[in-house]
Amino acid sequence: MSERQEKVTPASGDDAQGGNDARGMALHTKIFLGLVIGGATGVVLNVWLGGEQRHLQWVVSHISEPVGQIFLRLLIMIVIPLVFASLSLGVAGLGDLRKLGRIGIKTFLYFILVTTLAVFIGLALVNTINPGGRLPTEVKAKLLETYGGEATQGLARAEGVSFGIKTFVNIVPRNPLAAAVRMDMLAVIFFSLIFGIALTRVPSYRAAPMISFLEALGDAMVVIVDLAMKLAPYGVAALIFSVTARFGYDLLLSLGLYVITVLLGLAIHLLVSYPLLIRFFARLNPWRFFRRIQTVMITAFSTSSSAATLPTTMRVTEEKLGVPREISGFVLPLGATMNMNGTALFEGVTVLFIAQVFGVKLGLGAQLIVVIMSVLTAIGAAGVPGGSIPLLILVLQTVGVPGEGIAIILGVDRILDMCRTTLNVTGDVTAAAFVARSEGFLPVDKSVEIVPAAVDS
Ligand code: ASP
């Protein structure tokens, strides 16, 4: 057992990621209960009173939404320092540039290939099921009318988004602090990578204080995550309640086939592609893998944000799967921004669906462009709720489908966002496990038993 694991193990006995508290209930069980109770209460009140009911609206906007937002913000406020500390330390820890190059290439190839696979699954389903072709015209007209306003806002946001050579130039920040303030993750990642590389080139006695500083910064962020996750059962309940209490369930019915297509695609990727990758690439038992990371999946589901989940993702991946910090510190911050399998699948299905609704025929060539654009925009999308919507409008417009068409799906987006974010984050952990295994870190088959004190299943 490494020194670091020995260091964190005793502290993790009552931690946020699944240890038992004094009364014996594991935190992830409490979070799960929060999810179920919050979700069910919201649904019941919605059905009973109607999502528009005044008192219910008041409870949502004055109680559950603020509580949920505070929880979300506690997690998001850690993201910039955590990404900076863990990425630069991860890179510095990898030591030489050749190793970094090898791991970097492996990670990016994995991200791109698995994301592309996800889009193909989505496109195969949407072409077969044809949900857009079967959407009744009156439903289409009503949705365009109801969500037209929001779609116009989305279109305005999409105006500011362009995808071209400038996108790549912008990855290099002019001012890393300004990038951090804007939460421009690709630029922050770039600076952190370069900073880590630079640290490896500074004489070690000079680099040592900075490395200690970054380690302390990372450790302090971990403590904050633990504190925040103590609130998770309530935060998760509040977030889920806010969504289910206000949601228009009739929409789910009118858009049923589309929603089923997206969910089926996500389910196939989650239950077929991931287990195969976990089994054959990470060489872990998929069932145990999923059990170990359930806190991560629930956090992703309830926050709809890869970025907000990142602190938990890192903690769990290190402690429960035994992925060393230099790998998790490198792969996971990158993954939270660039590896969005669920988002890419959702984008592919949605573009085709809206094209079907508007009767725009997309041939093989156009669909190939949809694949490429979905993968690229999933890399560029921010890991926040609805982060992919402005980019999705861009993809629609690129293949000649009216961007306003986004109005049709906006009403169900939050529910789909929760599901696709769960996949995005699970994909990141899968990638980290694969990279760790390929670098010879996880001892075959024993890997998930690596930190006995954190084992609770
Ligand atoms: N909410 C997603 C995430 O954070 C991004 C998106 O698809 O909108 O991973």
Å from CA of 114 to ligand 1 middle = 17
For a ligand 1 pocket test, name from 239, 296, 343, 376 the mutation site with the most ligand atoms within 8 angstroms of its C-beta. 343
The minimum-distance atom of ligand 1 relative to the CA of 384 is 4
| Greater model confidence, 20 or 5 | 20
Ligand 1 centroid to Cα of residue 185, in Å, is 13
Residues with CB under 6 A from ligand 1: 304-306, 340, 343, 381, 383-388, 417, 420-421, 424
Quick one: which atom of ligand 1 is closest to the CA of 387? 8
CB 438 within 8 A of CB 106: yes
pLDDT above 90: residue 12: no
Least confident of 75-84, 233-242, 243-252: 243-252
Q: Which residue lies with its CA nearest to atom 3 of ligand 1? A: 383
Is pLDDT of 447 > 50? no
How far does residue 387's CA lie from ligand 1's centre (Å)?
A: 5
User: Angle at which helices 97-129 and 341-357 pack, to 10 degrees?
Assistant: 30
- Our mutation pick for probing the ligand 1 site, out of 185, 392, 417, 428, counting the most ligand atoms within 8 A of Cβ, is 417
Q: How confident is the prediction for the chain on average, in pLDDT?
A: 86
d(CA 274, CA 426): 8
What is the whole-number distance in angstroms between the Cα of residue 305 and the centre of ligand 1? 6
pLDDT on residue 436: 94
Residue 313's pLDDT band, with cuts at 50, 70 and 90, is very high
388-415 per-position pLDDT tens digit: 998 898 899 888 888 888 888 988 898 9
What are 289's two structure tokens?
């893998």
11 pLDDT tier (thresholds 50, 70, 90):
very low
Sign for the CA dihedral angle at 37, 45, 266, 424 comes to negative
Neighbours of 422 (CB within 10 A): 23
Report how far ligand 1's centroid is from the alpha carbon of 415 (Å). Answer: 11
- Cα of 310 vs centre of ligand 1, distance in Å, is 12
* Most confidently modeled range among 119-128, 410-419, 432-441: 119-128
Q: Whose CA is nearest to atom 1 of ligand 1?
A: 385
pLDDT-derived band at 416 (thresholds 50, 70, 90) equals very high
> What backbone phi and psi angles, to 5 degrees, belong to 36?
-70, -45
Query: Which ligand 1 atom lies nearest to the CA of residue 305?
Result: 4
| 271 Cα: distance to centroid of ligand 1 (angstroms) | 20
Q: Centre a 10 Å sphere on the Cβ of residue 149 and count the other Cβ atoms it contains.
A: 11
Nearest atom within ligand 1 for CA of residue 417: 1
Q: How far apart are CA 174 and CA 292, in angstroms?
A: 40
> pLDDT (tens digit, 9 = 90+) per residue, 20-42?
554 567 888 898 899 999 999 99
Given a contact cutoff of 8 angstroms between Cβ atoms, the answer to whether 295 and 312 are in contact is yes
For the CA of 421, the nearest atom of ligand 1: 9
Q: Which CATH class is domain 22-444?
A: mainly alpha
Residue 285 has pLDDT above 90, yes or no: yes
Q: How far is the CA of 110 from the centre of ligand 1 (A)?
A: 19
| Alpha carbons within 13 A on the beta-carbon side of 376 | 16
CA of 306, closest atom in ligand 1: 4
Which of 340, 346, 393, when mutated, tests ligand 1's pocket best, judged by the most ligand atoms within 8 Å of its CB? 340
What does the alpha-carbon distance between residue 257 and residue 388 come to, in Å, rounded to a whole number?
A: 21
pLDDT at 90: 86
Q: What is the pLDDT of residue 162?
A: 63
Domain assignments of the chain as residue spans, ordered by start:
22-444
pTM of the model: 0.84
- Position with higher pLDDT, 411 vs 81: 81
Which atom of ligand 1 is closest in space to residue 342's alpha carbon? 7
Q: What is the DSSP string of 122-189?
A: HHHHHHHH-TTTTS-HHHHHHHHHHHHHHHHHHHHHHHT---SHHHHHTTS-S-HHHHHHTT-HHHHH
180 close to 190: Cβ distance less than 8 angstroms: no
Using the atom order of ligand 1, give the atom closest to the CA of residue 388: 8
Residue 378 has which token pair? 């999933």
Check: CB of residue 357 under 8 Å from CB of residue 140: yes
Ligand 1, residue 346: give the atom nearest the CA: 7
pLDDT tier at 53 (50, 70, 90 boundaries)? confident
Residue with token string 């907000």 = 308
- The pLDDT value recorded for residue 444 is 46
Ligand 1 centroid to Cα of residue 295, in Å, is: 18
Give the tokens for residue 178.
């300004």
Residue the block writes with tokens 């559950």: 64
pLDDT of residue 23: 57
In the reported structure, the alpha carbon of residue 379 is separated from the centroid of ligand 1 by a whole-number distance in angstroms of 11
The lowest-confidence range among 34-43, 120-129, 243-252 is: 243-252
Give the mean pLDDT of 353-378. Answer: 91
> For 197-227, what is each residue's pLDDT tens digit?
999 999 989 999 999 999 999 889 888 988 8
Q: Is 440 helix (H, G, I), strand (E, B) or coil?
A: coil
Percent of the chain with pLDDT over 90: 53
Q: Which residue has 């969910």 as its token pair?
A: 263
Question: Looking at residue 93, what is its pLDDT?
Answer: 82
Query: Residues of 296-309 as b/e, b for ≥16 C-beta within 10 angstroms?
Result: bbbbbbbbbbbbbb
pLDDT at 411: 84
Q: Does residue 314 register a pLDDT over 90?
A: yes
Q: Give the least confident one: 46-55, 107-116, 189-198, 272-281.
A: 46-55
Contact 80, 180 (CB under 8 A): yes
The alpha carbon of 388 and the centre of ligand 1 are apart by a number of angstroms equal to: 6
Give pLDDT, residue 452: 36
Confidence band (pLDDT; 50, 70, 90) for 4? Answer: very low
